[in-house]
Copies of this chain bind each other. A is one copy, B any other.
Amino acid sequence: MQEPLSQPLADGAVTLDADRRRRCGYPEVVYGEGKSAETIAEILAAQLARGEQGLATRVAADAAERIALRLPSARYNALARTVRVAPEGSHPVERRGLVAVVTAGTTDLPVAEEAAETLDWMGAAVTRVNDVGVAGPHRLRERLADFESADAVVVVAGMEGALPSVLGGYVACPVIAVPTSVGYGANLGGMAALLSMLNSCASNVAVVNIDAGFKGGYLAGIIAARAAAR
């Protein structure tokens, strides 16, 4: 008998995409914003029951505590605001591919951490390079060796969003640019950085949504996993 592709949960409000791991290589990730701790816990529990490792993003600290009451093995990363669960006895994921996660300034760290946590969940090795924004131009060059072998780079930057363009000129691999809402005034909640990145003159720069650390990490992760099998 064929297993249904979707699994309704919690009084009909959630329809779990049970087929995603087969179709896309990774289970569904729970976007925590606007979901109650109980709903998040229920989804993660369902994933555990299916033998999947679960990841939830955008989880506030108090919600994480309530999730831990139901799923004691849940691990919370307060900076990234992520929760992860793994079936008991599950082996660590084998590392597949290397991704550099780079920030322009210290205020970009939470978004970068969300990307890094996502990559770790996907099994990618992660190199972190922090606070190398373009106003101190030598800082980036001093760290270039750290990118050389990367299969993909995630660049997290707010304000003028120039870092991906500059970094893109140094490397051959794909660069996933994540604009952040860091800044003030005419940064328009990150739109200035976003527009700057979309208009990048570097050919290898693709862009995701403002503060979208998860998506930036996920894209770099699937690119690296495919490249890593070389």
Binding site for B on A (CB under 8 A): 4-6, 12-15, 17, 19-20, 23-25, 28-29, 31, 33-35, 39, 104-107, 109, 128, 130-139, 142, 151, 159-162, 165-166, 168-174, 176, 179, 181-212, 214-215, 218-219, 222-223, 226-227, 229-230
Contact = CB atoms under 8 A, between A and B. Distances in A.
9 contacts: A6-B136, A6-B139, A6-B142, A135-B202, A162-B162, A162-B200, A183-B199, A185-B199, A199-B209
Contact of A169 (B33, B136, B195, B205): B136
A33 B209 CA distance: 22
B215 A203 contact: yes
Contacts of A109: 13
Given A185-B209, A186-B195, A106 B13 contact: yes
Given A5-B142, A159-B200, 16 more contacts: A4-B142, A20-B136, A34-B106, A105-B201, A134-B166, A135-B165, A135-B203, A160-B199, A161-B199, A185-B210, A186-B199, A198-B207, A198-B208, A204-B222, A226-B226, A227-B229
Given A12-B128, A33-B107, A223-B174, A192 B201 contact: no
Nearest to A137: B169
Contacts of A4: 142
A176 B204 CA distance: 11
B172 A222 contact: yes
Contacts of A19: 136, 138
A22 to B, nearest CB: 9
